[in-house]
Structure 1
Amino acid sequence: MKKGLISVLATATILFYFISTANAVGGDYQPVQKTADTQTDYIESITHKEGKWYITVDPIEWYEGKAADEQFLKREADSGLDGAPDGYYIVNDDTATQTFELSPEAAVLMQLYDRTGDPAELETHWNESVALDEFAKLYAKNDVLDLADFPYHLTVKDGVVTKIVQQFIP
């Protein structure tokens, strides 16, 4: 219980920092371009089995800007707000998971992750390329920042993930 509370407080502090500094970094933000092969998910796990990487995900609906406001007002009409807080809205009505093989050459682009182990040194670096095996290690490490809290845009071709882009959350 105490570990969970500490984790929640640390995550809240980190997210507050990034919300309060969103204007400083927000000018460089570009939404991920959706294609027919793109889906947005929460990552449940990344595993390595018999020489191959696999990713298990919980698909979500990700909305930004005007579309986020519309979905928010439709689903949260009694909130007293006139739009989605922070400009995005997530719908996750179905928590069924999917598992995909990861291409060994899958591109992984990160916005924010623990580089040093010091929460004070967390910085946003737009679309920083990270090797797949390094991403798997980073994902498993959640003492400073839990990467499971972020949505990811996956490009899936013929059932294989070829690209993973971490979604920046203001």
Structure 2
Amino acid sequence: MKKLALLVMPLLLIIVMSSSMASNSEAAEPAYKPFTAKSGTQTETVYIHELRSDKSGVHVVVDPIEWYEGEAAQKAFAKYEPDAGIDGPLDGYYIVNPDDTLAIYPVAPNAEVLMQIYNRGGVDSDISWNEPISLEKFIHVFGQSDLFDLSNFPYHITIENGQITSIVQQYIP
């Protein structure tokens, strides 16, 4: 009986611990929701090449791209990669960058910036969906490419009256 208890107790402990860890991780991290543009606004998906801040304000140098998710990604992948030898994009998204034309936009001083993942001072680099940060903080963390090079992520920008009013980082696995 003692041997059976010694065998069953560790197994029971493993089962209890793994089930509690699974439920905690699901509760702590909400599900991913694809970006949706506000109706009636001009939205572009871009790579940000540079952020410039001077006495005239903040300007961003961007490379517009085409961003596809889900079924649209499957169709774009089939169109652009017909001989790839795989069924579709591996992570459910597909990016097309038809040319290297850059554009420069001014950024509104009160622009909303929503981040998914970035270097939070080396302590917590987990995903935090649509975490609002200030424009000043975005400029600061964008310039620190030692741990996270934020220029590798796409961004959805909203343009109103010729200036960017919203910057939303697109998480890519």
In the TM superposition, what is the alpha-carbon distance from 1:116 to its structure 2 partner?
2.2
Aligned residue number for residue 61 of structure 1: 66
Aligned residue number for residue 142 of structure 1: 145
Aligned residue number for residue 5 of structure 1: none
Unaligned ranges ≥5, structure 1? 1-22
Query: Which amino acid is the alignment partner of residue 153 of structure 1?
Result: H
In the TM superposition, what is the alpha-carbon distance from 1:51 to its structure 2 partner?
4.0
Matches of 1:43 and 1:135, distance apart in 2: 12
Greater Rg, structure 1 or structure 2? Answer: 2
Against the structure 1 CA distance between its residues 53 and 64, is the aligned structure 2 distance closer, same or farther, given a 3 Å change threshold?
same
One of 77, 99, 103 as aligned partner of 2:104: 99
Query: Which amino acid is the alignment partner of residue 128 of structure 2?
Result: H
Aligned residue number for residue 53 of structure 2: 48
Query: Which amino acid is the alignment partner of residue 162 of structure 2?
Result: G
**Native 8 Å contact 2:30 2:129 kept in 1:** no
CA deviation digits over 1:2-28, x for unaligned, max 9? Answer: xxxxxxxxxxxxxxxxxxxxx969861
Q: Which has the higher contact order (CA 8 A, sep 6+)?
A: 1
In the TM superposition, what is the alpha-carbon distance from 1:37 to its structure 2 partner?
1.1
CA deviation digits over 1:70-97, x for unaligned, max 9? Answer: 1011111111111111000000011111
Equivalenced residue count is 146
Aligned residue number for residue 124 of structure 1: 127
Matches of 2:155 and 2:149, distance apart in 1: 13
Kindly report the root-mean-square deviation, in angstroms, between the aligned alpha carbons of the 2 structures.
1.8
Aligned residue number for residue 19 of structure 2: none
Q: What's the TM-score once normalised by structure 1's chain length?
A: 0.81
Unaligned ranges ≥5, structure 2? 1-24
Matches of 1:45 and 1:57, distance apart in 2: 7
**Native 8 Å contact 1:73 1:84 kept in 2:** no
Against the structure 1 CA distance between its residues 133 and 63, is the aligned structure 2 distance closer, same or farther, given a 3 Å change threshold?
same
Task: State percent identity of aligned pairs.
Answer: 42
